[in-house]
Structure 1
Amino acid sequence: MNTHTCSYYADSIADMPDYPQLRESIECDVCVVGAGFSGLSSALHLSEKGYNVVVLEASKVGFGATGRNGGQIVNSYSRDVDVIESRYNKHTSSALCNMIFEGGDIIRDIIKRYNVECDFKAGAIFAALNGKQLKGLEEQKANWERFGHNELELMDAHQVAQATGSNSYVGAMLDMRGGHIHPLKLALGEARAISSLGGRIFEQSKVTKLDKGKQPVVHTEFGQVKAKFVVMAGNAYLGGIEPKISNKAIPCGTQIVATEPLSEQQLETILPSNYCVEDCNYLLDYFRLTADKRLLFGGGVVYGARDPQNVEALIRPKMEKVFPQLAGVKVDYAWTGNFLLTYSRMPQFGAYEDNFYYLQGYSGHGVTCSHLAGKLLSEKLSGYSERFDAFASLKHYSFPGGRHFQIPLTALGAAYYNLRDKLAV
């Protein structure tokens, strides 16, 4: 039986719920493949609109990136306003930019309406390591304010040091519409909400075959689902069940550690603000405190989603560079998880066969954007297509190098940008 990876998140939930395995033939309006945030948001928003929804999960609710990520509510997409406005026409860019803060709003609304206890804390810091990055944050603040975000504050080196406890940064931008959560608790809360609305969730129910046509059938090992619509929401964990979409992005791994609970003395200089932080590097580091006062620190990318042999050995030097006062601190948990990277770094939403939809490729911004994706999908199936279609109009490019060389070429490109970060050019 597939269970959650050995992470702080999974270990901190005392009573992990179990959903049944599909062992019969059933029918529904919409069959959602994948019980991560994309699938859960889709199922929840559709259930709220009265659709009969079935969710199929190969492992456990929140098994993939949803239950393993840094837990940070980060606004916008992996490409921000400046790139979007330079890359797409005015109509498309305006539509995309007008949605860049909505994912976080959706999360806060779900937490409030369904009383989801997931350790939510407002406040996110984007930290600059050099003057070039700080100038970029000034431009980002101005761009975000153009689209109605007025809860932003620039911080100088002294202010960011006071907020983080680290002297690594020359300045920062504080976003009070950002924040952090326990992502697995949020996923499980969303699953409960779906069930309360009549939606059905099945775990240990890996999809083995898809029958397309006017009446799609989704097959698992022991059952099947007849549906009017199918939503493919497996992201980096979808596998090869549908090559039409899985060949348009590559899975990548990121690593996270969680320390032992910190002492009151340590907490005086480790994130006294309790904001979450990410730096502005291409291969960025991110960190925050958990509800029980552990430092959760993540960073780095493994292209092709290979699991490193020693996650702690990769992350500890980064953590101790930011917080030298934690040299030698005990690490209680170390894990890895996969996200799906697109060539454009923009998410991929679309449809094929008229009744098969897909949501994927958040490129590191999945916590918020996946929640937006589910809402847009529910709008699309309900006859309001404009916002979903703005994303669906984006071209999906394959990575250069073909099947054998796309991963090493992508890693080479990342190394180039990482060098530019270090040289501040």
Structure 2
Amino acid sequence: MSHTTYPQSYYAASANPVPPRPALDGEVETDVCVIGAGYTGLSTALFLLENGFRVTVLEAAKVGFGASGRNGGQIVNSYSRDIDVIERTLPAQQARLLGEMAFEGGRIIRERIATYGIACDLKEGGVFAALSAKQMGHLESQKALWERYGHSQLKLLDRQGMRDVVASDNYLGGLLDMSGGHIHPLNLALGEAAAVESLGGTIHEQSPATRIERGANPVVHTPRGRVRAKFVVVAGNAYLGNLIPELAAKSMPCGTQVITTEPLSEDLARSLLPQDYCVEDCNYLLDYYRLSGDRRLIYGGGVVYGARDPANIETIIRPKMLKTFPQLKDVKIDFAWTGNFLLTLSRLPQVGRLGDNIYYSQGCSGHGVTYTHLAGKVLAEALRGQAERFDAFAGLPHYPFPGGRLLQVPFSALGAWYYTLRDRFGL
């Protein structure tokens, strides 16, 4: 059987040591079989184990192999579509529940780090950066909206305020969220996996789910084994493939690209981001960046629809970095990689149940670090018979992409081109 290793990313190169996790060989029986050892699967497994369930996690490659171990590492509140969109389109009670949950994921991450002693370079504070007056107006509205839901750790920044936290002349202003922050994402996943095992859970790597026998007691098959369970939680997101065709038809994997510089001098690093906050701009196809624990600049952006790997990632992202920080023109790039996230047409998560005992959550649409941790709690609540919050997510509409899977990529790329033009001209 083939052995899948981590991509050559900065995160993999600086990952904490981990124990071997052998592939499933033979048959096991458990209460819940979780498919996928990324944030959604690990969060679900942890909440279930803390409530007395037996849990077996199947991972096709390595813990955190997908988006959980490749993302920008930013703790960003709410969803890819914000609460105002939810309020306009959903019944009041459902919108209220989703709004109240929008800030919970970051708290869960911090609780996990504290409870299980996870070493993942947690740093506090995140900034939304406005490139136009229109974007600044949006941030002002966003602050009022979030404060209406009790989220008070927010501060508007004018042009000089932004210049004080980011050494770039690009921005008109911004919004500082002190409940935002950033982490080493792969080390967070590895720490959560260790927590799962400390509570008696089992994780099998190199064990892709190849087939699910549905029924009263579902069976998940792998190349060399199978898991009999009372419940199955499907948490593969962009790396699920066609295991469940009805989910694949309503979502699309997309790639985003990230580069990491060589280590910067302490003076240069502090000059770029004096407070060590993470930053993302307000464009539709946004750029995002932060400093690592060893003073590298991690810079990401762009979207490749259909999750194809670009031939040269550095040529795509380095010009974006230099537009923000021209002072880095002589700095070497040590790592460049891509990773997939799962896009939905609504840009809201898809949560639900197939039959009576197969649960799923997918489609974070590029906003997954906090949502996935919330999703694990919500899925675990549903398996325990507390379904109110699960139902709030499950009631979100799941739209198929126009033209089916054949036209997903061109239609999405056309839409992205339209919004990119709007960003460029400030419309």
TM-score range, shorter chain: over 0.9
**Residue 280 of structure 2: aligned partner:** 278
**Is 1:204–2:206 an aligned residue pair?**
yes
Paired with 2:154 and 2:7, the residues of 1 have a C-alpha distance of 36
Secondary structure, in 3 states, of the residue corresponding to 1:215?
coil
Per-residue CA deviation, residues 231-261 of structure 1 (Å, 9 max, x unaligned), is 1100000011111111110000000000000
**Residue 192 of structure 2: aligned partner:** 190
Code of the residue aligned with 1:219 in structure 2: it is H
**Is 1:49–2:59 an aligned residue pair?**
no
**Residue 242 of structure 1: aligned partner:** 244
Code of the residue aligned with 2:79 in structure 1: it is Y
Aligned 1:13-412 pairs, distance under 5 A: 13=15, 15-412=17-414
Secondary structure, in 3 states, of the residue corresponding to 1:189?
helix
Deviation at 1:91, TM superposition (A): 1.1
Code of the residue aligned with 2:78 in structure 1: it is S
Paired with 2:133 and 2:345, the residues of 1 have a C-alpha distance of 28
What's the TM-score once normalised by structure 2's chain length? 0.99
Code of the residue aligned with 2:74 in structure 1: it is Q
Unaligned runs of at least 5 residues, structure 1: none
Deviation at 1:353, TM superposition (A): 1.6
Secondary structure, in 3 states, of the residue corresponding to 1:198?
coil
Deviation at 1:207, TM superposition (A): 1.0
The alignment's C-alpha RMSD in Å is 0.8
Deviation at 1:24, TM superposition (A): 1.4
Per-residue CA deviation, residues 11-35 of structure 1 (Å, 9 max, x unaligned), is 0125243211100100000000000
Paired with 2:423 and 2:376, the residues of 1 have a C-alpha distance of 34
Q: Are the aligned partners of 2:35 and 2:233 in contact in 1 as well (CA < 8 Å)?
A: yes
Secondary structure, in 3 states, of the residue corresponding to 1:127?
strand
The worse-fitting range, judged by mean Cα deviation, of 23-32 and 402-411 is 402-411
Code of the residue aligned with 1:132 in structure 2: it is K
Paired with 2:33 and 2:369, the residues of 1 have a C-alpha distance of 22
Paired with 1:311 and 1:418, the residues of 2 have a C-alpha distance of 19
Per-residue CA deviation, residues 159-212 of structure 1 (Å, 9 max, x unaligned), is 111101111100000000000000111101100111011101000001111111
Paired with 1:159 and 1:241, the residues of 2 have a C-alpha distance of 49
Code of the residue aligned with 1:124 in structure 2: it is G
Q: Are the aligned partners of 2:266 and 2:295 in contact in 1 as well (CA < 8 Å)?
A: no
Paired with 1:31 and 1:163, the residues of 2 have a C-alpha distance of 45
Paired with 2:362 and 2:138, the residues of 1 have a C-alpha distance of 27
Q: Are the aligned partners of 2:249 and 2:404 in contact in 1 as well (CA < 8 Å)?
A: no
Secondary structure, in 3 states, of the residue corresponding to 2:186?
helix
Superposition misfits of 4+ residues, deviation over 4 angstroms = none
Evaluate the alpha carbon distance shift between residue 55 and residue 14 of structure 1 in structure 2; reply closer, same or farther with a 3 A threshold: closer
Paired with 1:77 and 1:294, the residues of 2 have a C-alpha distance of 28
Code of the residue aligned with 2:53 in structure 1: it is Y
Evaluate the alpha carbon distance shift between residue 359 and residue 14 of structure 1 in structure 2; reply closer, same or farther with a 3 A threshold: closer
Code of the residue aligned with 1:383 in structure 2: it is G
Code of the residue aligned with 2:19 in structure 1: it is P
Per-residue CA deviation, residues 36-59 of structure 1 (Å, 9 max, x unaligned), is 000000000000000000000000
Deviation at 1:328, TM superposition (A): 2.9
Deviation at 1:329, TM superposition (A): 1.2
Paired with 2:16 and 2:381, the residues of 1 have a C-alpha distance of 36
Secondary structure, in 3 states, of the residue corresponding to 1:187?
helix
Paired with 1:172 and 1:413, the residues of 2 have a C-alpha distance of 26
Q: Matched residue pairs, number?
A: 425
Per-residue CA deviation, residues 277-305 of structure 1 (Å, 9 max, x unaligned), is 00000000000000000000000000000
Paired with 1:36 and 1:346, the residues of 2 have a C-alpha distance of 19
Secondary structure, in 3 states, of the residue corresponding to 2:258?
strand
Q: Are the aligned partners of 2:270 and 2:276 in contact in 1 as well (CA < 8 Å)?
A: no
Evaluate the alpha carbon distance shift between residue 14 and residue 46 of structure 1 in structure 2; reply closer, same or farther with a 3 A threshold: closer
Code of the residue aligned with 2:93 in structure 1: it is H
Percent of aligned positions with the same letter in both sequences? 60
Unaligned runs of at least 5 residues, structure 2: none
Deviation at 1:225, TM superposition (A): 0.3
Secondary structure, in 3 states, of the residue corresponding to 2:279?
strand
Paired with 2:104 and 2:270, the residues of 1 have a C-alpha distance of 34
Deviation at 1:264, TM superposition (A): 2.6
Paired with 1:162 and 1:329, the residues of 2 have a C-alpha distance of 22
Paired with 1:204 and 1:267, the residues of 2 have a C-alpha distance of 38
